[in-house]
Amino acid sequence: MDDAGILDALFRCAARVREVLDGISDWRLPGERPDQYGLDLVADRAAVDSLVADGFGVLSEESVWHHRDRDLRVIVDPVDGSTNASRGIPWFATSLGVVDDRGLRAAVVVNQASGVRYHATRGGGAFRDGVPIHVSDVKETSDALIAMNGYSPERFGWAQYRAFGAAALDLCLVAEGAVDGYLDCTGSNHGVWDYAAAHLIVEEAGGIISDAEGRPLLTEEHGDRRAPVAAASPELHAELASIRRGFVLT
């Protein structure tokens, strides 16, 4: 399958998720575990069925592995930011990152509230609604607007910060230059589905992204957890990573 075919399949999957979400009358119904909503399960079934039918293996936050032996595997978060979704906050997404034997090959993140679509392919650049995007030119923390997961134990000299609640979309804001960096202020709590697609989008937009503790970000193990740090420039990334390493997390 070529890159165009992969992207078409990913966009179809995201559209199918939106269709099934539209059929849910109560978005606050619980799922099968404390941190899950019923909407997560409905979206997962739609996403997995769509992707498997198109020939992909799937690693999903909600249902783990399907056809792991396939050459192209999609790391999927059917609804990233499901708490936002359950409360009517328009900041939640379907995140789809395709992996082959060389690593991340293609990515799609769709804001399911607004319809805004981000995508990237390896070596092909990053786009928002078909328009090329690039990170900002900010190099200093004192000039930076930082998106966060959780909250910082103190203010470390950034100009401003925001906490939006959906990592995939937050990282896409770095890619398009709307914010200058992203900092996970918690422990290692992100599964790969939270950031895999945005990882490629950030890099193809010229940004830097890594794990705060130096581990490889890309993993295909459901139980692995990471702490992403992303920035528009190597200088800002180095400073944010240094700040994050100095956190005393409880």
CATH number for the domain including 9? 3.30.540.10
pLDDT in the model for residue 150: 83
Same-domain status, 78 and 171: no
Q: Strands across the sheet with 145-149, in order?
A: 160-162, 145-149, 181-184, 228-231, 208-211
Distance CA 56, CA 125 (A): 23
The model's pTM is 0.95
Q: Are residues 113 and 14 in the same domain?
A: yes
**Enclosing H/E stretch for 103:** strand 103-111
- Total domains in the chain come to 2
End residue of a domain, out of 99, 132, 165: 132
Q: Helix 38-53 and helix 3-22: axis angle, to 10°? A: 150
Instruction: Using the 3D structure, point to which of 132, 155, 175 is the last residue of a domain.
Output: 132
Query: Can you give the pLDDT at residue 153?
Result: 75
pLDDT of residue 249: 56
Considering the domain architecture, whether residues 25 and 79 belong to the same structural domain is answered as: yes
In a domain, 69, yes or no: yes
CATH number at residue 212: 3.40.190.80
The helix (H) or strand (E) run that includes residue 17 is: helix 3-22
Cβ atoms < 10 Å from Cβ of 56: 26
The answer on 114 and 39 residing in a single domain is yes
Q: 122 and 20, same structural domain?
A: yes
Q: Are residues 18 and 110 in the same domain?
A: yes
pLDDT in tens for each of the 250 residues of the chain? 999 999 999 999 999 999 999 998 887 776 567 677 889 999 999 999 999 999 999 999 999 999 999 999 999 999 999 999 999 999 999 999 999 999 999 999 999 999 999 999 999 999 999 999 999 999 999 999 999 998 777 778 889 999 999 999 999 999 999 999 999 988 788 999 999 999 999 999 999 999 998 999 999 999 999 999 999 999 999 999 998 887 755 4
Position 250 in a domain: no
Same domain, 43 and 79: yes
Last residue of a domain, one of 132, 160, 190: 132
Instruction: Tell me what percent of the chain is helix, strand and coil, each rounded to the nearest 5.
Output: 30, 25, 40
State the residue range of the domain holding 36.
3-132
* 116 and 48, same domain (yes or no): yes
Give domain status of residue 80, yes or no. yes
Q: Is residue 158 in a domain?
A: yes
Beta strand 64-66 pairing with 93-100: unpaired
Residues 7 and 117 in one domain: yes
For residue 52, the SS3 value is: helix
**Distance in angstroms (rounded) separating the CA atoms of residues 124 and 220:** 23
- CB contact at 8 A, 108 and 51: no
| Domain-embedded: residue 77 | yes
* 116 in the same domain as 9: yes
